[in-house]
Structure 1
Amino acid sequence: MVRKSIIFFLFIFFLCQITGCDREVSPNIVKISYWEKWTGFEGEAMQAVVDLFNSREIKNKGGKIIQVDMITVSQLDRRLLTATAGGNPPDVAGIWTWLLTIYADKGALLDLNGYLEESGITKEHYLPVFWEICKYKDKIWGLPSTPASVALHWNKRLFREAGLDPNVPPRTIQQLDLMAEKLTRIKLPNQEGTISFYELRKKENYQALLAEAKIVQMGFLPSEPGWWPWSWGYWFGGKLWNGKETVTADEFENVKAYGWVKSYSMKYGVDNIKKFSSSFGVFASPQNAFLSSKVAMVSQGVWMYNFIDKYATGMDWGAAPFPSDEGKLKDVSYIEADVLTIPKGAKHPDEAFQFISFVNTQEAMELLCDGQRKFTPLREVSEDFYRNHKNPYIRMFRKLAESSNAFITPKMVIWQEYQREMSFAYEKIRDLKSQPKDALKEVKRAMQRRLDRELAISRRLEEAK
Structure 2
Amino acid sequence: MEKRNKGTQQLKTGMIKFFVTALSVSLVLTGCGGTNGESGTNSTDANNTTNTEKANTDNAANKDAGAVNSDAGKDSGEKVTLEFWGWQGKFQQDFTKIVISEFEKLHPNIKVKYIPDQGGNDKLTTLIAGGTPPDVGILDRFMVGAWAAKGSLEKLTPYLDTDSEVKADNYYPGPWAEANYKNDLYALPFNTDNRVIYYNKTLMKEAGLDPEKPPTTISEMDAMAEKIFKKSSSGGYEQVGFIPWMGQSYLYTQSWNFGGEWTKGEELTPNDPQIVKALEWMVGYAKKYDMSKINKFNDVMGKTGINPFWTGKVGFMVDGNWILNDLTSNAKVKPTFDWGVAMMPSEDGYPQTTWAGGHSFVMPKGAKHPKEAWEFLRFIGGHDGTLLWAKRADAGNDITAMPKVNEEIKITENPKLKLFVEMMNSAHYRPVTPAGQKMWDETFRVQDLALNGKGEPKKLLDEVKKNVDNELKKLQAK
Q: Does the pair score TM above 0.5?
A: yes
259-268 or 360-369, which deviates more:
360-369
Separation in 1 of the partners of 2:92 and 2:213?
32
Q: Which residue of 2 aligns with 1:222?
A: 244
What whole-Å deviation, never above 9, does each CA across 1:161-219 have from its counterpart, x for those lacking one?
A: 33333333211111112221122211245xxxxxxxxxxxxxxxxxxxxxxx2111112
Once the two structures are superposed, the pairs formed by residues 15-164 of structure 1 within 5 Å of their partners are 29-37=79-87, 39-40=89-90, 44=94, 47-54=97-104, 57-59=105-107, 65-120=109-164, 121-164=166-209
The question of whether the paired residues in 1 share the 8 Å contact of 2:92 and 2:116 is answered with no
The question of whether the paired residues in 2 share the 8 Å contact of 1:183 and 1:218 is answered with yes
Stretches of structure 1 lacking an aligned partner (at least 5 in a row): 1-26, 190-212, 459-465
Q: Which residue of 1 aligns with 2:40?
A: none
Q: Which residue of 2 aligns with 1:290?
A: 309
171-180 or 151-160, which deviates more:
151-160
Q: Which residue identity is paired with 2:402?
A: L
77-86 or 442-451, which deviates more:
442-451
Distance 1:304 1:86, change over 3 A: same
Q: Which residue of 2 aligns with 1:306?
A: 325
The one of 304, 326, 350 aligned to 2:348? 326
Measured after TM superposition, the shift of residue 45 of structure 1 is: 5.3
Measured after TM superposition, the shift of residue 271 of structure 1 is: 1.4
The question of whether the paired residues in 1 share the 8 Å contact of 2:255 and 2:274 is answered with yes
Count of residues paired in the alignment? 395
Distance 1:433 1:88, change over 3 A: same
The question of whether the paired residues in 1 share the 8 Å contact of 2:399 and 2:406 is answered with no
What whole-Å deviation, never above 9, does each CA across 1:345-386 have from its counterpart, x for those lacking one?
A: 222221121122112343431332352632222242464411
Once the two structures are superposed, the pairs formed by residues 168-247 of structure 1 within 5 Å of their partners are 168-188=213-233, 213-225=235-247, 228-244=250-266, 246-247=267-268
Q: Which residue of 1 aligns with 2:443?
A: 422
Measured after TM superposition, the shift of residue 400 of structure 1 is: 1.4
Q: Which residue identity is paired with 2:123?
A: R
Please give the secondary structure, in 2, of the residue aligned with 1:145. strand
What whole-Å deviation, never above 9, does each CA across 1:287-308 have from its counterpart, x for those lacking one?
A: 4322223323221122111123
Measured after TM superposition, the shift of residue 39 of structure 1 is: 4.1
Higher relative contact order (CA 8 A, sep 6+): 2
68-77 or 146-155, which deviates more:
68-77
The question of whether the paired residues in 2 share the 8 Å contact of 1:184 and 1:217 is answered with yes
Distance 1:50 1:449, change over 3 A: same
The question of whether the paired residues in 2 share the 8 Å contact of 1:37 and 1:95 is answered with no
Is 1:444 matched with 2:465? yes
The question of whether the paired residues in 2 share the 8 Å contact of 1:216 and 1:294 is answered with yes
The question of whether the paired residues in 2 share the 8 Å contact of 1:42 and 1:372 is answered with no
Q: Which residue of 1 aligns with 2:379?
A: 358
Separation in 1 of the partners of 2:241 and 2:474?
43
Q: Which residue of 2 aligns with 1:409?
A: 430
Is 1:376 matched with 2:424? no
Root mean square deviation, CA, Å:
2.6
Separation in 2 of the partners of 1:69 and 1:181?
55
Distance 1:394 1:111, change over 3 A: same
Please give the secondary structure, in 1, of the residue aligned with 2:161. helix
The question of whether the paired residues in 2 share the 8 Å contact of 1:152 and 1:298 is answered with yes
Q: Which residue of 2 aligns with 1:461?
A: none
Distance 1:247 1:133, change over 3 A: closer
Larger radius of gyration: 1
Distance 1:438 1:42, change over 3 A: farther
Q: Which residue identity is paired with 2:419?
A: M
Measured after TM superposition, the shift of residue 263 of structure 1 is: 1.1
Is 1:397 matched with 2:420? yes
Separation in 2 of the partners of 1:249 and 1:382?
34
Distance 1:387 1:374, change over 3 A: closer
Stretches of structure 2 lacking an aligned partner (at least 5 in a row): 1-76
The percentage of counterpart residues that share the same residue type is: 29
The question of whether the paired residues in 1 share the 8 Å contact of 2:412 and 2:421 is answered with no
